[in-house]
Amino acid sequence: METTQRTAEQRAAQRRRELLDAADRVVLRDGPGASMNAIAAEAGITKPILYRHFGDKGGLYSALAKRHTDALLASLRAALDAPADRRERVEATLDTYLAAIEARPQVYRFLMHPAEGEPVAGDTAFDAGRHSAPLLRLMGEELAEVIAERVDLGPRGGDLARAWGHGIVGMMHAAGDWWLAERPCDRAALVSALADLLWGRLAAAGDKAGGPGF
């Protein structure tokens, strides 16, 4: 019985991955306008079957968001932990985020600006901010954890690390959003400009004793 249940769960997980792959292909093509109808057609199923797996467009959005956010967070952590000096790691972290949104702008727009898409008959409407805000909050908390682990910020360092973590993510998001829309400079120039902005107190703070530094 246990083996049968485990096999059924594995098949369901595999099917879910296949449906998310289909959704990714549609999002890459259609961006924020990606519809449940188009995703179901890409997957070769009917929309009710898609709803059975994800509930509604908000559920599908959340599943795609987790997939892409997990991958981005892993890349950001790798950049922060790279064997380089602090300035280089700051620049590598900024570049990792900007490179991700540059490489897949339609995915970025779907995740951060889903309401920009034209309404599609039969699709469930959902609010962009309600869904995208938790993604930014998660990235802010992750970055705050890394800062708190590596930088000696003195008394109340944890609170300051959280303020910095959320502030840096907000800066990356806002600046990246503007840059992606207007392309006023190349990515390297934006990375350098944002690193310069961050480089005041961060450069002066000491590393925590016994840790790898930041």
Q: What domains lie within the chain, and their CATH numbers? A: 62-207 (1.10.357.10)
Instruction: Quick: pLDDT tens for 119-160.
Output: 444 454 445 455 567 778 888 998 898 888 877 888 888 899
Tokens of residue 179, six digits:
């840059």
d(CA 152, CA 104): 36
Mean local confidence (pLDDT), 17-28? 92
Q: Which amino acid belongs to residue 108?
A: Y
Report residue 118's pLDDT band, with 50, 70 and 90 as the boundaries: very low
d(CA 137, CA 158): 16
Instruction: Quick: pLDDT tens for 178-192.
Output: 999 999 999 999 999
Q: What is the mean pLDDT of the chain?
A: 83
Task: Give the CA distances from residue 73 to residues 14, 93, 103, 125, 161, in Å, rounded to whole numbers and listed in that order.
Answer: 23, 10, 16, 28, 17
Structural contact between residues 53 and 21, judged by C-beta atoms closer than 8 angstroms: no
d(CA 12, CA 52): 11
Q: How many CA atoms lie within 13 A of 151 on its CB side?
A: 26
% pLDDT > 70, the chain = 84
d(CA 72, CA 54): 22
Structural contact between residues 157 and 145, judged by C-beta atoms closer than 8 angstroms: no
Q: Which amino acid belongs to residue 141?
A: E
- So what's the pLDDT on residue 65? 84
Q: Which amino acid belongs to residue 175?
A: A
Mean pLDDT lowest among 5-19, 64-78, 194-208: 194-208
Q: If we measure between CA atoms, which residue out of 74, 60, 58 comes closest to residue 22?
A: 60
Mean pLDDT lowest among 54-58, 155-159, 162-166, 203-207: 203-207
